[in-house]
């Protein structure tokens, strides 16, 4: 089974989001009081006492600006948590897929080279979490038109992570 790399939000996008988010609002940091808010900068849950922010993020818009894609109406934005200040990114040697919990629901959404949705599926994360994601991503990339996959939380619609072809 192929293993896929979950990608965090990149450093330059994070720098911009920490000033002004993709909806044009200033970043408003706060101190986490509970553990678990899914941080897209380092692909782990926040810890109590950490300074974090909830910002609006448009992943396809930023990807399209780099690739020349034209996602049109698929250029959506949604909420993501990030550290309020620069962090070290994902931990070295991190394994598994982030924000994975057996029984949780995820939308696995596929995009073509122009940023258009080409399909997707609902994934109820199985007990063997890693295998469940591996199978869903292998299925997505079996379509040669798929170049990008977003994994989103069903409950809030927010992006958990991105996977790119090869």
pLDDT digits (tens, 9 = 90+) for 69-123: 999 999 999 999 999 999 999 998 888 899 999 999 999 999 999 999 999 999 9
Strand, helix or coil for residue 105 = strand
Closest CA to 90 of 10, 4, 151: 10
* pLDDT at residue 1, as a whole number: 58
* Cα distance between residue 48 and residue 142, in whole Å: 40
pLDDT digits (tens, 9 = 90+) for 18-62: 999 999 999 999 999 999 999 999 999 999 999 999 999 999 999
- φ, ψ dihedrals at 122, nearest 5°: -90, 130
* pLDDT at residue 112, as a whole number: 97
pLDDT digits (tens, 9 = 90+) for 147-158: 999 999 998 888
* Cα distance between residue 84 and residue 27, in whole Å: 8
């Amino acid at each position: 089974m192929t293993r896929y790399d979950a990608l965090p939000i990149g450093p330059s996008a994070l720098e911009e989001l920490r000033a002004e988010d993709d909806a044009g609002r200033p970043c408003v940091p706060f101190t986490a009081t509970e553990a678990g808010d899914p941080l897209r900068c380092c692909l782990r849950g926040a810890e109590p006492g950490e300074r974090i922010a909830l910002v609006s993020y448009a992943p396809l818009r930023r990807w399209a600006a780099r690739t020349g894609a034209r996602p049109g109406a698929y250029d959506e934005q949604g909420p993501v948590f990030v550290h309020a200040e620069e962090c070290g990114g994902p931990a070295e040697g991190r394994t598994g897929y982030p924000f994975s919990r057996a029984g949780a629901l995820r939308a696995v959404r596929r995009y073509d080279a122009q940023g258009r949705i080409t399909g997707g599926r609902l994934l109820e994360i199985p007990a063997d979490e890693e295998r469940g994601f591996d199978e869903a991503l292998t299925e997505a990339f079996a379509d040669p038109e798929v170049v990008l996959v977003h994994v989103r939380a069903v409950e809030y619609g927010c992006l958990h992570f991105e996977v790119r072809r090869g």
